[in-house]
Amino acid sequence: MKQITIGDIVRGDQEVFPPYLYEAYQSTRRRAPTLPLIEVPLTLSELTGPGPAISAITPEDADLTRNAGTGGEAIGQRIIMTGRILDDRGNPVPNTLLEIWQANAAGRYLHKRDQWPGPLDPNFLGMGRCLTNEKGVYRFLTIRPGAYPWKNHPNAWRPAHIHFSVFGPSTLSRLVTQMYFPDDPLHSIDPVMNSIPTEDARKRLIATYDHSVTEPEWALGYRWDIVLHGPYATPFELPQREETR
């Protein structure tokens, strides 16, 4: 039986974040750092970050069903994706930029390296972005992405997912992740999702269907909250030196 190595170099909380080396996901093998990460005090460089400035100037583009510029509408099951961005004390993260990207309803990305024979949709670019409101709430209108095959191992398929990139208030809160849909039989055989070390943390990547978000005669509603690392620490202070006289 083949040994699958799971590395022990992890940035951040080991109960939540995947190790860099997770051999079942082949692309980690030659890209994962193998030397210990350097532990350093947090300084102004880490307690600041581009979030506030970039969020203030980036225009929203939150309707993926109609943002291809063709005048046409994307094909697929229309969905509303909404939720809150919180810090780990439960405070909402307002006015922060989210960028998302995803495959179309057939599971195909509009990308030159995606060449599997799923059909492209001329009315779907698969990218969008929005800002959270003052309560930390984001909202996208999109279509449910399809699952798609990849070459990681024989007959490998990624479960349907939407990629999320979030800034938050500091460098510490920067997060890129993937959101999955409930009741998908592909979850248990997906090495990317299973690189998350605990069942609880994996479950937190799965949206819930929410009928109160669903709009009649229009779109199904899904809810998914994201919790970011908060910037609580104050910049490192050196102990006061004894004055020598």
Partner 1 sequence: MSTFPLTGSQTVGPFFGPGLLREDARRNVLTQPETVGERIRIEGRVLDGDGIPVPDAMVEIWQANAHGRYNHPADQGPVSLDPTFLGFGRAGTGEDGSYWFETIKPGPVSFSKEQQQAPHICITVFARGLLNHVVTRLYFEDEPANALDPILQYVPEERRATLLARRESEGAPVVYRFDIILQGAGETAFFNV
Residues belonging to the active site: 109, 148, 158, 161, 163
- Token couple for 243: 């004055």
Q: Determine the Cα–Cα distance for residues 96 and 116; give it in Å rounded to an integer.
A: 35
Residues 46-85 within binding reach of partner 1 (CB under 8 A): 46-50, 52-54, 57-59
CA gyration radius, the chain: 20
Q: Determine the Cα–Cα distance for residues 79 and 133; give it in Å rounded to an integer.
A: 20
Residues 110-129 within binding reach of partner 1 (CB under 8 A): 110-111, 113-114, 125-129
| Length in residues, the chain | 245
Q: Determine the Cα–Cα distance for residues 199 and 33; give it in Å rounded to an integer.
A: 25
Using CB under 8 A, which of 238, 242, 243, 244 touches partner 1? 238
Closest to partner 1 by CB, 1 vs 38, is 38
Q: Render 45-105 in DSSP notation, one character per residue.
A: HHHS-SHHHHHHHPPPB-BTTSTTSSS----S-EEEEEEEEEETTS-B--S-EEEEEE--T
**Least distance from C-beta 212 to partner 1, angstroms?**
22
Residues 29-48 within binding reach of partner 1 (CB under 8 A): 29-35, 37-48
Residues 201-230 within binding reach of partner 1 (CB under 8 A): 201-202, 204-205, 225-229
Closest to partner 1 by CB, 73 vs 99, is 99
Residues 132-191 within binding reach of partner 1 (CB under 8 A): 163, 165, 169-172, 174-178
19-27, 73-81, 138-146, 209-217 -> range binding partner 1 (CB under 8 A): 19-27
